[in-house]
């Protein structure tokens, strides 16, 4: 078995896609004793990795891969075929995208198919391919398997193995999630594939392995995690809106409700970002349509969360008008561009929705500044002509309105400290992180304008 090669220190694993997930996976397999080849289409990233430069927020990932480069245990390449030839196990962590139009949503499998073609061209008897990308249920068998068999002329379960194991990480503690925090969910296209994958992952996941009956179940499981959170956040956003209208603290109500063990109400916020939770509902709705099944709750929750950045922008205007601030001259500082706290990932960030709505209202780009100390640059803000600042004091100085859109630890400040730099003391905390030692507008404290 391939697990025997790992125990002997003779296993080579190739990781396709060196983003947030791929680099964490590479670290985990290096630490488990494998030699790892990383594959990515970004030649600059590959060059930097091979020179020992690891751009990642987690120190354990940076340290593991930096040392592994020096010792020859990790290397990166843009050639997926060569990586496949030189490895026993191929793990796919490339993204599957959505193509949205006003009338339809389609799934883009091009990156996944491209990786599968490269793997197939170097696939050998006895190799194992594992898909870790989040995908619509059925993708491994209907998209990946035909490509692998067609390109390689090999037959799954007879000549090679194919499994699905969803990544279950959160950037910031991704490596710990893989190794310690959660069991690994695994399924194979057949019993041999499931056994090979499960035995390997037992060497990585200290919490053990959950083997599901088929890959569709494993693909579905990953999406269910995200949709549960999306629906729960939509509920929180809706209930917070009612609480604010009633003049009661949703934070107090939520804390009391969650003291009951069967209540797990999430926090409201400025919206839902990232490349996971906003995408998974569409994957499931896309699959459901093929089966003639309607998912009205899933769809409505997504609509509520997609409207939330507009709700925040409306709150900014209402607060300015209430306090006699002229919207045509006001300085608006938005704190946070990353979609969640203490990461530099801006994908699907609610801040974009807040900024675009304010611009649509007629606020000029030079009236808006966005602060994020972790995001170095941003093409979308540049296109809009909106400044991205890295110094917090500069961002909030002489501001008429401060909007907290991301729950960075850097924003866990006393409201009075923020206000001391401002021209007009209007703080709109959409993430519930500011310490309200003076009155502020907050989505969860009952003073939402």
Instruction: Say how many Å lie between the first and final Cα of the chain, rounded.
Output: 62
Place of tokens 């995690």: 225
Active-site residue flag, 8? no
User: Please, what is the Cα angle at 317 between 355 and 449, to 5 degrees?
Assistant: 115
d(CA 38, CA 190) in angstroms, rounded, equals 27
> What does R_g of the chain's alpha carbons equal in angstroms?
24
Task: Phi first, then psi: give them for residue 139, nearest 5 degrees.
Answer: -65, -45
Contacts of 392 (CB under 8 A, 6+ apart): 335, 371, 373, 410
Q: What is the DSSP letter of 183?
A: P
| Contact between 370 and 381 (Cβ < 8 Å) | yes
d(CA 97, CA 108) in angstroms, rounded, equals 5
312: which 2 tokens?
A: 């925040």
Q: Which of 276, 322, 331, 423 is catalytic?
A: 276
d(CA 363, CA 156) in angstroms, rounded, equals 58
- Closest to 223 in 3D by CA, of 284, 285, 278, 275: 284
Q: What is the DSSP letter of 70?
A: H
| Half-sphere CA count of 165, side-chain side, radius 13 A | 33
Q: Which of 45, 184, 192, 222 is catalytic?
A: 222
- Closest to 299 in 3D by CA, of 221, 231, 238: 231
| Contact between 406 and 387 (Cβ < 8 Å) | no
Q: Where are the beta strands (DSSP E) in 34-96?
A: 35-39, 74-77, 89-92
Beta pairing class for 209-211 and 401-404: unpaired
d(CA 449, CA 446) in angstroms, rounded, equals 9
Task: Phi first, then psi: give them for residue 435, nearest 5 degrees.
Answer: -80, 110
Active-site residue flag, 376? no
CA 110 vs CA 94, 115, 117: distances in Å: 10, 9, 10
| Half-sphere CA count of 68, side-chain side, radius 13 A | 26
- Closest to 443 in 3D by CA, of 268, 229, 230: 268
User: Which residues form the catalytic set?
Assistant: 222, 276
């Amino acid at each position: 078995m391939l697990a025997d090669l790992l125990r002997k220190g003779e296993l080579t694993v190739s990781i396709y896609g060196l983003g947030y997930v791929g680099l964490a996976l590479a670290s985990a397999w290096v630490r488990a004793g494998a030699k790892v080849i990383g594959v990515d289409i970004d030649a600059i990233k590959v060059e930097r990795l091979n020179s020992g430069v690891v751009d990642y927020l987690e120190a354990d990932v940076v340290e593991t891969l930096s040392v592994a480069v020096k010792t020859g245990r990790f290397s990166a390449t843009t050639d997926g075929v060569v990586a496949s030839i030189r490895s026993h196990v191929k793990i796919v962590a490339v993204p599957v995208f959505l193509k949205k139009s006003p009338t339809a949503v389609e799934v883009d499998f091009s990156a996944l198919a491209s990786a599968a073609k490269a793997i197939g061209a170097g696939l050998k008897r006895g190799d194992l391919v594992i898909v870790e990308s989040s995908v619509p249920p059925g993708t491994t068998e209907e998209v990946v398997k035909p490509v692998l068999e067609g390109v390689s002329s090999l037959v799954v379960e007879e000549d090679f193995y194919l499994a699905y194991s969803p990544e279950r990480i959160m950037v910031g503690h991704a490596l710990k999630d893989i190794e310690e925090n959660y069991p690994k969910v695994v399924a194979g296209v057949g019993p041999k594939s499931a056994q090979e994958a499960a035995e390997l992952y037992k060497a990585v996941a200290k919490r053990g392995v959950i083997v599901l009956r088929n890959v569709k179940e494993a693909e579905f499981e990953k999406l269910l995690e995200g949709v549960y959170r999306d629906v729960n956040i939509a509920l929180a956003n809706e209930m917070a809106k009612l609480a604010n209208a009633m003049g009661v603290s949703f934070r107090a109500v939520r804390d009391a409700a969650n003291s009951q063990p069967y209540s797990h109400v999430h926090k409201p916020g400025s919206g839902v970002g990232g490349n996971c939770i906003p995408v998974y509902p569409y994957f499931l709705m896309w699959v459901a349509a093929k089966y003639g099944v309607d998912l009205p709750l899933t769809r409505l929750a997504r609509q509520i969360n997609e409207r939330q950045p507009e709700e925040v922008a409306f709150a900014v205007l209402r607060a300015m008008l209430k306090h006699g601030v002229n919207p045509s001259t006001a300085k608006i500082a938005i704190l946070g561009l990353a979609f969640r706290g203490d990461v530099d990932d801006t994908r699907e960030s609610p801040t974009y929705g807040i900024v675009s709505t304010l611009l649509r209202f007629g606020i000029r780009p030079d009236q808006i500044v966005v602060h994020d100390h972790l995001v170095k640059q941003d093409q979308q803000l540049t296109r809009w002509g909106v400044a991205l600042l890295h110094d917090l004091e500069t961002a909030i100085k002489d501001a008429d309105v401060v909007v907290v859109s991301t729950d960075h630890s850097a924003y866990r400040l006393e409201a009075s400290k923020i206000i001391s730099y401002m021209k007009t003391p209007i703080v709109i905390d959409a993430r519930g992180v500011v310490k309200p030692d003076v009155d502020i507008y907050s989505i969860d404290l009952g003073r939402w304008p």
